[in-house]
Amino acid sequence: MSTSEAIATELFYRIRQRCDVGMREYLAAIEAIRGGYEQRLPLKQILQMLWCHSQTEQLFFETQWDAAQEILSSQVKRDSESGKSSDASTTDNKAIATNVSNESSTPAAISALEEKSIPNLSYEVFRVDSATTSSEEYLELGLYFPVSRRTMIYLWRFLRRPVADGVADVLDVQATVARAARQGFYWQPVMRRRVSNRAHLLLLIDRGGSMTPCHRFAEDIVETAVEDGQFRRVDVFYFYNVPTGHVYQDDRLTQPIKLDEALKDCDRDTSVLIVSDGGAARGYRTMQRLEQTRKFLLELQKYSHLIGWLNPIPKERWYGSSAEFLAYLVPMQEMSTDGMGQLIDVLRGTSLLHLQGVG
C-alpha cells in the first residue's frame, strides 16, 4: 500500500460516519490514486471532492487530515527507529563474533561476551489514538443488509387477516354505552369475541445456484416469518430455479414433495411469497425457464391470487434477463424495505399491483 493509499484509508476510518462515506466512495478514491490523478490534483483536494458534500464536512475533514498526517508520520518514525536498532544489534553481534574468534577463551573474555550478548529488555511506551484502533469500526465494513431482521419483523405485522373467532371476553365499550342509551338503563355489558390473525403464508424459496449468495437473507425471511410473524400458519418449501412438478421440504433439497401436495391446503386467502432472482443474478434469459415459470404461476393462481415475488437482485439488473419478463406476470419487487413493504400490501390484497412492467 502506497503512502497516499494509507492516508486515504486512515481518513476513511475517521470521517466515514460523520461525512456518510461508504465503501463505494472509498474504492473510488483508491482507484483515483492508482489511476494517477495525483499528478493533476493534490491528494487532499481529490478526497475532499469525493467525500465532502458541505462546508461543515470540509471543516471536519481539515481537522482529521492533520491528525491522520501526524499519526502516519509517527508510525513511519517508529518503523525507521526500529530498523536502525535492528541494524545496530546486527553490527554488535558481528563485532562480538570477531572478538570471540580473535581472543582466547579465558573466563574474563567469556564473562565479557555474556554481558554484551544480553538483550535490552526495557519498556518503551507509545501513545496510540483510540480512534484508529476501534475493532468495531473495521468489522462494520463487511456488513450489508438490504432488509434487516428488525425491519422484516415490523413489516410482517402488517400481513394480517383478523377474524373474530376467539372467546367472547372482550368488553365493547361503545356498544355497551349505545345499548344503555337506547334502552334507558344499563342491564349488562356487551362482549365481543377476541380477534386472531388467521393469515396463512406460503413461502417458496429458490435455493442453490445463483441464489447461494442470498441464502442468508432468505433464511432471515423464513425465521422472522415463522418465529415473529404471528401467523396462523406458515408453510415453507424450496425449489431450484423453477418448481417444475415438485418442491422440497428442506433447504438441502433432499426431501421432495409433489407441488399439488404442497398446495393442497391453500385457498383464496393464502398469501404466497416467492423469493428468487428469476435469472437476474447471471443475466440469463431462456425461453425454457420463462415457459416453465409461466405454467407454474398459472397453476398457483388456481389456488390464490395473493402472489408476490421478492427478488434479491437490484431492479436495474433485471433488464435483459428472465426477471424482466416475469415482472409482467406477477408483482415483483427488489429486496429492500420499500419493495418488501409493497409486496406485503399485495399479499394481504390491498394493492392494485397487477401485471406491472419493469419500467
- pLDDT at residue 218 above 80? yes
The pLDDT of residue 100: 43
Q: Is 160 exposed, middle or buried (0-12, 13-18, 19+ CB in 10 A)?
A: middle
The pLDDT of residue 170: 85
* The most confident of 39-43, 124-128, 354-358, by mean pLDDT: 39-43
> Percentage of residues in the chain with pLDDT exceeding 90?
39
Mean pLDDT across the stretch 237-260?
93
Measure CA 358 to chain center.
24
The pLDDT of residue 122: 44
Which of the two residues, 313 and 116, has the higher pLDDT score?
313
Query: pLDDT by residue (tens digit) across 142-197?
Result: 445 688 899 999 999 999 887 777 788 888 899 999 989 998 888 889 988 887 77
The pLDDT of residue 3: 79
- pLDDT at residue 72 above 80? no
- pLDDT at residue 207 above 60? yes
Domains of the chain with CATH codes: 3-135 (no CATH), 167-195 (no CATH), 198-347 (3.40.50)
Specify the residue for cell string 407441488. 259
What does the mean pLDDT of the chain come to? 79
Q: Output the nine-digit C-alpha cell for 123.
A: 519498556
The pLDDT of residue 168: 83
The pLDDT of residue 114: 45
Angle 30-35-38 (CA atoms, 0-180°, nearest 5)? Answer: 85
**Of 22-26, 93-97, 292-296, 338-342, which gets the smallest average pLDDT?**
93-97
Amino acid letter, 215: H
Cβ pair 335, 278 in contact under 8 A: no
Q: Rounded to 5 degrees, what are φ and ψ at 197?
A: -85, 110
CA 147 to each of CA 29, 119, 354: distance values in angstroms, whole numbers, following the listed order: 28, 57, 24
Q: How far apart, in whole angstroms, are the C-alpha atoms of residue 10 and residue 151?
A: 33
